[in-house]
């Protein structure tokens, strides 16, 4: 399978910098629930967010690893369902 089919599409992860306004508004980090492949893509594409420098103004996030098992956020339970976005497996809820 070509490599481009195994990497995250930009339209799935490109909004990382846009969460800064939400950080400012709620005065806290944004939780990200993602599988290992997506987390690696975020770290690769946005290394300054995860390098630990704490530079002011970068997006503030907390990563929560998930897989195909149900997980909860507050009182809500989410069951990931693997679907295909063309030939790229992604998770729906």
d(C-alpha 83, C-alpha 91), whole Å? 6
Sign (positive or negative) of CA dihedral 9, 12, 18, 23: negative
What per-residue confidence (pLDDT) applies to 1?
A: 44
Confidence category of residue 10, pLDDT binned at 50, 70, 90: confident
Instruction: Give pLDDT tens digits for 21-68.
Output: 999 999 999 999 999 989 999 999 999 999 998 888 899 999 999 999
Give the strand pairing for 81-85 and 88-92: antiparallel
Sign (positive or negative) of CA dihedral 64, 69, 74, 77: positive
d(C-alpha 32, C-alpha 41), whole Å? 13
- Predicted TM-score (pTM) of the model is 0.84
């Amino acid at each position: 399978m070509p490599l481009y089919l195994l990497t995250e599409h930009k339209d799935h992860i490109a909004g990382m910098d846009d969460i800064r306004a939400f950080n400012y508004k709620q005065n806290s980090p944004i939780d990200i629930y993602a599988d290992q492949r997506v987390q690696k893509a975020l770290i690769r594409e946005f290394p300054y967010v995860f390098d630990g420098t704490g530079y002011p103004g970068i997006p503030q996030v907390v990563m929560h690893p998930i897989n195909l098992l149900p997980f909860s956020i507050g009182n809500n339970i989410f069951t990931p369902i693997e679907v295909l976005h063309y030939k790229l497996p992604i998770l729906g809820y």
